[in-house]
Structure 1
Amino acid sequence: MFKIILNNNKSLEINNVLLKEDYGGYETWEAIVADICEVFNMFEEIEFIVMGFGQDKWPVDCMYDLLCVAENLPKIIMGFSENIFNFELDFYEQGLERKLTFKDKGTFIEIFCKSRTKWNPEPMFECTSKKELVEMILKLYRNFIFYSQYLCKNLLENPLMDKFILEDTITKKVKTSFGVSLNPLE
């Protein structure tokens, strides 16, 4: 079964570490998200997990693979708020090279996995409910924001990140629309 998770596999014992300085030279929020992913990658405590399509744990990391997903989160969540569930996640990094295509099938979401390597997904299709997908994506987004606040708050507070950080009204609308309630951070 498909899962995508960003979690803290140990307890973070560092308090508001500034591992990357916001030097003010950023031109886009995507560049800041890339640096946040780099910070996450330095900590073994932060773990990015993708599973499904016959592989219990994909060989993913925070540095590159999480970035492929994180840069799409605001657009995906905004789509959910408009009941749009058709989107793609492209894990384009050399070695992994997989694309997930999400298609709204009315009562459920069909996920198709295409590999551009010798690895073959088995099965090629998996299904999930809209509620399960919304919950997964919202948890991933919430955890990304939380760990960013904890490890590199200065990057998260850069004004360019206003385009990445969604208003509470949007995430509340999505949670309410699909009956999702997020537990406190695990």
Structure 2
Amino acid sequence: MAFEAAAEVPPHAGPFEVHGDYFTDVIVACALLDDVAAGRFVLVGFGRDPWPLQVGYDMSAFLEELPDVVAGIRSGQDVELDLYPPGIEATFVFSADADDVVIRCSSRATWQPSPDVERIDRRELLAMLDALVADVARALHDIAPSVAERSAFTRTWVAGA
């Protein structure tokens, strides 16, 4: 057999364009992070440790709705987050209860949450979500600074949405 050297690297879809709207830029950011295998998206709770999630699709669905979820939690309003990707198909309803947030999970898939209700301190939950977004924004900046600087996703969270 003759000597052979090769790099098996998936083709890059780039250049990634920034569109200036939050939803599109979230999709671009998650696709770019997934493309370079930059980390994992981890969700634990409701009997799953961890949930079987992917950065490119599942994290995108989560981040798409996060500004409204955070605003609802901050204002004490009930708010819903729908993780719609096939195989996940779960809805989370966040409800204020004094200094806590009660999270109810319902599944549209064969898996059913157990327990279906969890409780967390409101400040702890907001800090956790802020850290998640900061980590995503940092990773995006590390691998594609020009995309991060022009992204509505980054601007939304830097502004404290």
**If the length of structure 2 is used for normalisation, what is the TM-score?**
0.80
Query: 1:146 & 1:95 partners in 2: Cα distance?
Result: 28
Residues 150-161 of structure 1 aligned to structure 2 (within 5 Å): 150-158=142-150, 160-161=152-153
Structure with more relative contact order (C-alpha pairs < 8 Å, separation 6 or more): 1
> Does residue 20 of structure 1 match 2:14?
yes
Other-structure match for 1:37: 30
Instruction: Give the drift of 1:79.
Output: 4.3
Alignment coverage as a number of residue pairs:
150
Equivalent in 35, 39, 45 of residue 52 of structure 1: 45
Gaps of 5+ in 1: 1-17, 172-186
CA contact (8 A) 1:22 1:154 kept: no
Structure 1 counterpart of 2:54, one-letter code: D
Query: 2:29 & 2:43 partners in 1: Cα distance?
Result: 19
> Does residue 138 of structure 1 match 2:130?
yes
**If the length of structure 1 is used for normalisation, what is the TM-score?**
0.70
Give the alignment's Cα RMSD to 1 decimal. 2.4
In structure 2, relative to structure 1, the CA distance for the partners of 1:34 and 1:129 (3 Å cut) is same
Identical residues among aligned pairs (%): 23
Gaps of 5+ in 2: 1-11
Instruction: Give the drift of 1:28.
Output: 2.6
User: Which ranges of 4 or more aligned residues in structure 1 deviate by more than 6 Å?
Assistant: none
Other-structure match for 1:4: none
Other-structure match for 1:122: 114
Rg larger in 1 or in 2?
2
